Structure 1
């Protein structure tokens, strides 16, 4: 089915001027022309443009994104082949980040993350590939396969990519304001930042406060912003006491504020605050996406 520039723009969200620029500069699509000179696109063009848009929105420079899109077209037939989902078939699996941590190859790291985030939605890639792959890197470090430098190298590359995704998810102005971050002493930020991005994509005005945030600073932010909710990430069991201190301060100083805890160490928090009056604290679901949906659903009526 042929599509006009206006129809393609509506289907992909890409402005007409940008469509023409990508065609002219990078050859991402090669539309046919009517007798009157008007561009006509087909379904393959739509698929290529959607992939290009996902890559660019994820922070990939347009020139590199175009190389990835053009590489997804087979030479013999010209048939478009979207990237294979990570972990399936011959695509990169959960150990792909381990190989990057060993090689310390910046280009390899960026290409791997480009391919990953082009393979599916942000939510699916983070939950089913990125976080499990980061766990593999941690295990490889414990086993002596990966050096500390390699673990830090991978974490920095992922942190840059998640930061761009968080910025690209929009400001959600008018949505419920939600504080998100880690308690004092907690430094493992990638799960928290992933969660904050998913929650922002669900329409919450998320203010991500980062790592190692003192209890007083949590209280200061809550006093300044008067949020509808606050989510304290508890990535490790040893972070539970610090998270409990944040929970105590916020619930006592700001009655009515919904305070959530989530992460692998979250189940250790409720026993530390069971003496507090009010509803029993229940950690968020272990699934990052389910946790974000829970918070978003509960805050819609706030």
Structure 2
């Protein structure tokens, strides 16, 4: 029997174990079977289980990884680089346990609320997650994975509307928390997106995560010209300028950053997946990399401002 056929024995097992054949994964993700096999064989991105007859079976975690891979590819990350990103995310998530079970349960409840366009239900879940989790976990483990999955899966009917609903909801809640934290701080940093490479929500979440009792974050909007950042910094005089992007740096952007840092009177830092992907190439340069994971970015920013982190 080939992988496109139906096998009642396999189907019965799937119902009990929540495992999916390759044809179903292709339907759910839009990735054809040839590509799925290539990701497995050439890059080791996914490791499905096998039946005794050799048929591939994918778990829900495998499907989530496929969607994450699509997200990184759409952001310009080379497929050869995605494996290290997935490995890092899996390591940060840690072994399965009560916390990860709770995160999965909350994600499922969020998806159900989105299907009903239930703002009150989302608000209740948001407050519940905040009360039980750290700031980093609220976004990295619960809300943003759902946001990313919906962003990638907008080809499916209804998912674009659900993504917009969640995006608007989260932007409002994060903005409200930023307003509550708005007060003079001893140190200030400017946070700006690399042109055309970030969603507003990603910037708002990063601003919330980087801020602290000692560090205030001023967020510059999407559309801020890269060439004018030196002027903005000259007038606002921040302790550092943080550029954010989840996409790989192109040769042209790298050149523009080199010109920018030469004209700045403050240090230039890079955050997001761009920092992870460019860390080796920027080693020893005037640009410091903060990383992509919330607590790491916050810690490195504090160390850099205290003079304890070299570029």
TM-score normalized by structure 2? 0.58
Aligned partner of 1:215 in structure 2 is 226
Aligned partner of 2:202 in structure 1 is 191
Q: 2:285 and 2:168 mapped to 1: Cα distance?
A: 38
Aligned partner of 1:49 in structure 2 is none
- RMSD of aligned C-alpha atoms? 3.1
Give ranges in structure 1 of 5+ residues lacking alignment. Answer: 1-84
Does the CA-based 8 Å contact 2:282-2:288 persist in structure 1?
no
Q: 1:89 and 1:187 mapped to 2: Cα distance?
A: 29
List per-residue Cα deviations over 1:107-127 (Å, max 9, x = no partner). Answer: 222222122222223233223
> Which of 267, 275, 283 is matched with 1:258 structurally?
267
Q: 1:253 and 1:241 mapped to 2: Cα distance?
A: 19
Helix, strand or coil: the match of 1:127?
Answer: helix
Within 5 Å, give how 1:96-245 maps onto structure 2: 96-142=109-155, 144=156, 146-173=158-185, 175-237=186-248, 240=250, 244=254
Give the aligned length. Answer: 211
Q: 1:146 and 1:140 mapped to 2: Cα distance?
A: 10
Aligned partner of 1:284 in structure 2 is 290
Asked if residue 92 in structure 1 is aligned to residue 105 in structure 2, the reply is yes
Quick one: structure 1 residues 245 and 196, their matched pair in 2 at CA, closer, same or farther if it must change by over 3 Å? Answer: farther
Quick one: structure 1 residues 177 and 240, their matched pair in 2 at CA, closer, same or farther if it must change by over 3 Å? Answer: farther
Q: Report the structure number with the largest CA radius of gyration.
A: 1
Quick one: structure 1 residues 267 and 146, their matched pair in 2 at CA, closer, same or farther if it must change by over 3 Å? Answer: farther
Does the CA-based 8 Å contact 2:104-2:142 persist in structure 1?
no
Helix, strand or coil: the match of 1:230?
Answer: strand
More helix by share: 2
Quick one: structure 1 residues 271 and 121, their matched pair in 2 at CA, closer, same or farther if it must change by over 3 Å? Answer: closer
Q: 1:134 deviation in Å? A: 2.1
List per-residue Cα deviations over 1:21-66 (Å, max 9, x = no partner). Answer: xxxxxxxxxxxxxxxxxxxxxxxxxxxxxxxxxxxxxxxxxxxxxx
Give ranges in structure 2 of 5+ residues lacking alignment. Answer: 1-97
List per-residue Cα deviations over 1:164-216 (Å, max 9, x = no partner). Answer: 1112224242x222010212223413232222112212521211112232113
Does the CA-based 8 Å contact 2:272-2:292 persist in structure 1?
yes
Helix, strand or coil: the match of 2:106?
Answer: coil
Q: 1:292 and 1:109 mapped to 2: Cα distance?
A: 27
Q: 1:279 deviation in Å? A: 2.3
Does the CA-based 8 Å contact 2:195-2:222 persist in structure 1?
yes
Helix, strand or coil: the match of 2:189?
Answer: strand
Quick one: structure 1 residues 132 and 241, their matched pair in 2 at CA, closer, same or farther if it must change by over 3 Å? Answer: farther
Helix, strand or coil: the match of 1:157?
Answer: helix
TM-score normalized by structure 1? 0.59
Quick one: structure 1 residues 270 and 299, their matched pair in 2 at CA, closer, same or farther if it must change by over 3 Å? Answer: same
Does the CA-based 8 Å contact 2:103-2:141 persist in structure 1?
no
Does the CA-based 8 Å contact 1:181-1:213 persist in structure 2?
yes
